[in-house]
A and B are shown apart, each in its own frame.
Chain A
Amino acid sequence: MSKPARFVTTTVEVEGRTEQRVVEMPAFDLEPWGADAALTHVGARALRVDAALKATGRPGYTTDIRRPHQAYAAIVRSRIARGKVTRINVEAARAIPGVLDILLVDDVPARTRLFNAEITYHGQPLAAVCAENQAIADRAARLITVEFEKGRHAVTVAQATAANAQPVRPGLSNNLLFKEPRTTERGDVIAGFAAADVTITREVRTPCALHSALEPHAAVAEWDGDRLTVWESTQGIFRVRDNLAKALDVPLTNVRVICEAMGGGFGAKNYAAAHTYIAALFARRLERPVACYVDRAGEQVDTGNRPSSVQRIRIGAMKDGTLTAIEMVGEIQLGIGGWEGGPGEIYHELYACPNVRTHETFAFVNTAAMAAFRAPGHAEGAVGLEAAMNALAKELGLDPLELRRRNTATHDQKKSRPYTGNRLAECYDVGAERFGWRDWHRIRRRSKDAHTAPDPRVVPGKPHLRRGVGVAAQIWSTGGGPPSYATVRINTDGSADVLAGSQDLGTGTRTILAQVAAEALGHRLDQVRAIIGDTGATPYAGNSWGSMTVASLTPAVRMAAVDARRALVEAASGLLGAPSDQLEVFEGRVAVRGSERGMSFGEITAKLGNVMIQGHGSRGPNPQDAGIVTTGAQFAEVEVDTATGVVRVVRIVAVHDAGRIVNPTLAESQLEGGIIQGLGFALFEERVLDTRMGLPLNVGLHDYKIPTMADIPSIDGHFLDGADTKANHVGARGIAEPAIVPTAPAIAGAVADALGVDVLELPMTPWRVLAALAR
């Protein structure tokens, strides 16, 4: 028999995109942890391992790094949306005491793509200055004046696709991604609508939303000869390392990227960017460490966004609610760069329907580039799809939940394959129960029929207030995948390290990895530490994006821990004078089964001296014949003031199926966080553009509104018990992005229920609510 191939090519999904990758097959297979596996640490509400550090303000964020003789950089940005730089005046800046250096386009390697005489959006970096401290650098940056010839900008899809539109950047033949709209179709939509008893149309608009992580993008760079170390606030230390090495033309081995702690990313921190290259270049020229932080205005303007969308939806169904056709024609305003993370995908996935067509126009415009933002595309698409579903339910006289239940997708319709697990139907049931959905609707029916019970939409004594409820569902690919590696090593005192090239965005990666390693090693959790966030110390792991980290990494960590445990047991076998197969391991002790004899890990490793007990783990491929998704449903109750138009969310119930939950507390924290960001998307968040000038107007946290504690409803976040043993041998899938998808549509559904009219543009600000009421 021939040995199975060690390296094979497989398909992985990242943020809705499919990629082909070579993977290394794990050296040995592990029996999956089933739903009923007896586990000690996995599934436990372990405290976040760095909770105490965070509560004392000492985690070590990039902006807190202070290297000896550290200098500071500031970025000069364009104040117009389109044009050409004719001259940059730096003399006044250079004359300020404390200014050390200035970088212009001619000073930077082309591959950094830093600066450009061609101005293509407001906020584009044009130059940078470095000084002894931040205050001097900022002052100098303000004194650098840019002379330019103004060009004609296009900041809306209409402007960018007009017949006489100029290319928004050089090299484009037109302003569309793929040069033309993207159409995706299955079945026959025309036949589907012909067969429908009822057809509904809706036009829904979603805003451009900004990630607004509180820690800005930041880098601190330091050269030691030809070796570069960069501290970076990033979701992908290895990707930043690769970006830097390529742009600066240095070997990968000479670049080390460190991210000990980071203050949020949400999709905006996946690559090295202007600030990274500016820090590295100044540091090389000045031969001293240089920090470059993006200031708040820069953060809100030029670090990514969720692009705005217009979705024109048509949906056809039989009288019993069975969907016969779904069509969505969309316009997505990408920014100067971007990719096809559009609203279309979810229309093909969430509900069972044989005939689906999406036609999306992705337009480049003269605003800063979009970036993945928590469930890119799906969060926007769900708003349109669910608005249409609610309208359909109303037209058919069906409970909106019942309509959804009747159209539950039983398999992956895009690829004609089953799911490894999809318990959305159960999420509907459990969620409806926890929310009291049926009671709400039973009372309503009674009040309508016989006027015997009060209408729950009315608030007694407050005629201007109306209450309503809404439901929305969610689907998102969360299988993670290879390559991901981990090393587990047992130190000479018996404590253990798990090393992985991941990073902790605030999600709890550090804690989760320690829990899985402790479980598989048979150790105490407080004796296991995760070492992450350092390309110089860890094996490769991918970016923390696409809700991939837990599903990608924990199988590798488990394997590494099992590998280390096997070596430890072999060593203990000789010391205890018992065969390995009679030894058992639990909570840091190896014991001879059925006897008192045993040794702690520390006693064993003390005997071994500096002989390393070390395990290697890798992530094997996902099953090719099944889709891996997290699904869920959220229910919202709102109270709308019809006099002022203010919407208050009263409560949210969320139930999701994410396979095994490694730490319920951390999972709830992520779920609540996604819901609260979804609430902001529904009610407050919108980058406002002056389309005439091409300028973003609300570039601070005062004018760009994110939720505060006063906006928070009661949240009941719940996960179904279980383990997805077909997805991977840990049984876990991702949850970060699924959490945000149904929130805004559930709130919009509740507002429509309360008012009897739809508010078809997000965010549902008071003026939009009042305008809808006036229609």
Chain B
Amino acid sequence: MQITLNGRPVAADPEGHATLLDLLRDELALTGTKRVCDRGSCGACTVLLDGVSVYSCLTLAQGCDGHDVRTIEGLGSAAEPHPLQQAFALEDAAQCGFCTPGQLMAAAALLAANDDPSDDEIVAAMSGNLCRCGTYPKILRAVRRAAAMLRETGA
């Protein structure tokens, strides 16, 4: 099978039971995507599948054949960060940082569909992503800020 991973074609041969999370972390060594609950309870493994946020722990790898997958490693880079990554840093929206990649990908899916979300819309989009440090107020601010940055740049 072949997927487009962070903009590049990648060939893989996952076993039938392997999840997209297994493929990313264990086969491809892309460790930015986190394994926490491994059963769709926490959102730490959120990635974009054809631009839509999915729990990679509940997504079978073989089902991604021919599809576009984007992970935290492909959201932006240190040199050219995504506005969300800038906003998360500026608003202190990561304490331990372990849930942060999942939070960022969930927010990226939201902002790709709606660059002017209300707080209720942000909360609805982000409530599938747990944070045990309790960074939610700052994550909310960061998503608002990133949305404003996106609207300004028209990106």
A positions within 8 Å CB-CB of B: 47-48, 50-59, 61, 63-64, 66, 133-135, 211-216, 261-264, 266, 295-296, 505-508, 665-666, 668-670, 672-677, 700-702, 706-710, 712, 715
Interface residues of B in 17-64 (CB under 8 A from A): 18, 22, 26, 29, 31-42, 44
* Cα-based distance from A53 to B38 in the complex (angstroms): 24
**Does B3 have its Cβ within 8 Å of any Cβ on chain A?**
no
Cα distance A261–B32 in the bound complex, in angstroms: 13
Are B96 and A52 in contact, CB atoms less than 8 angstroms apart?
A: no
Q: How far is the CB of B105 from chain A (nearest CB, A)?
A: 9
Q: Could you say which of A263, A676, A702 contacts B136, with CB atoms under 8 Å apart?
A: A676
| Most chain B CB inside 10 Å of its own CB: which residue of A50, A54, A264, A508 | A54
Return the CB mask of B121-141 against A: 1 if under 8 Å, else 0.
Answer: 011101111111111111110
User: Contact between A263 and B89 (Cβ–Cβ < 8 Å)?
Assistant: no
Question: Is B109 engaged at the interface, CB distance under 8 Å to the other chain?
Answer: no
Interface residues of B (CB under 8 A from A): 18, 22, 26, 29, 31-42, 44, 71-73, 75-78, 81, 84-86, 88-90, 92, 94-101, 104, 122-124, 126-140
The answer to whether A66 touches B31, judged by C-beta atoms less than 8 angstroms apart, is yes
How many Å lie between the Cα of A507 and that of B81 in the bound state?
A: 24
- B89 & A214 in contact (Cβ 8 Å cutoff): no
In angstroms, how far is the closest chain B Cβ from the Cβ of A2? 49
Hey, which chain A residues are within 8 Å of B129, CB to CB? Answer: 708-709
For residue A295, which residues in chain B have a CB less than 8 angstroms away from its CB? Answer: 38
Instruction: Name the A residues within 8 Å of B98 (CB-CB).
Output: 61, 213-215, 263-264, 506
Contact of A66 with B39 in the complex, beta carbons under 8 Å = no
For B40, what are the chain A residues with a Cβ–Cβ distance below 8 Å? 702
CB-CB < 8 A to A216: which residues of B? 36
Would you mind naming 25 contact pairs between A and B with Cβ atoms under 8 Å apart?
A48-B89, A48-B92, A51-B90, A54-B100, A56-B75, A56-B76, A56-B78, A135-B18, A214-B36, A215-B98, A263-B97, A264-B96, A296-B37, A506-B95, A506-B98, A669-B138, A670-B95, A672-B137, A673-B133, A701-B36, A702-B37, A702-B39, A709-B122, A712-B136, A715-B137
When C-beta atoms are compared, the residue in chain B nearest to A675 turns out to be B134
Contact A708 B101 (CB under 8 A): no
Contact between chains at B89 and A701 (CB < 8 Å): no
Given A264-B132, A296-B37, A676-B136, are A215 and B96 neighbors across the interface (CB < 8 Å)?
Answer: yes
**A709-B132 contact given A55-B104, A673-B95, CB 8 Å threshold:** no
The answer to whether B36 touches A52 (Cβ under 8 A) is no
CB contact between A712 and one of B41, B81, B137 (< 8 Å): that residue: B137
Residue of B nearest to A673 (CB): B134
Q: Which residue of B lies closest to A54 (CB)?
A: B97
Instruction: Choose among A212, A213, A215, A507 the residue with the greatest number of B CB atoms under 10 Å from its CB.
Output: A215
Q: A706 — which chain B residues lie within 8 A by C-beta?
A: 130, 132
**Contact between chains at B130 and A56 (CB < 8 Å):** no
B residues in contact with A47, CB < 8 Å:
89-90, 92
The answer to whether A214 and B42 have CB atoms under 8 Å apart is yes
> Cβ of B78 and Cβ of A708 under 8 Å apart?
no
Shortest CB-to-CB span from A275 to chain B, Å, is 15
* Inter-subunit contact B39/A59 (CB<8 Å): no
What are the residues of chain B within 8 A of A135 when measuring CB–CB?
18, 22, 26
Q: Is the CB of B96 within 8 A of A701?
A: no
Q: Which residue of A lies closest to B31 (CB)?
A: A64
Contact residues in B for A508 (Cβ distance below 8 Å): 95
Q: Which of A55, A672, A675 contacts B138 (CB 8 A)?
A: A672
Contacts of A665 in B (CB 8 A): 92
- Chain A neighbourhood of B89, CB < 8 A: 47-48, 51-52, 54-55
Q: Could you tell me if A505 and B130 are in contact, using CB atoms closer than 8 angstroms?
A: no
Q: Chain A residue with minimal CB distance to B104?
A: A55
Are A263 and B96 in contact, CB atoms less than 8 angstroms apart?
yes
Task: Specify the chain A residue showing the minimal Cβ separation from B39.
Answer: A700
Docked pose: A726 CA to B104 CA in angstroms: 43
Expressed in whole angstroms, the Cα–Cα distance for A440 and B18 within the complex equals: 57
A516 to B90 Cα, complex, angstroms: 21
Shortest Cβ gap from A154 to chain B (Å): 31
- CB-CB under 8 A from A55, the residues of chain B are 81, 84-86, 88-89, 94, 100, 104
Which residues of chain A are within 8 angstroms of B99 by Cβ–Cβ distance? 214, 263
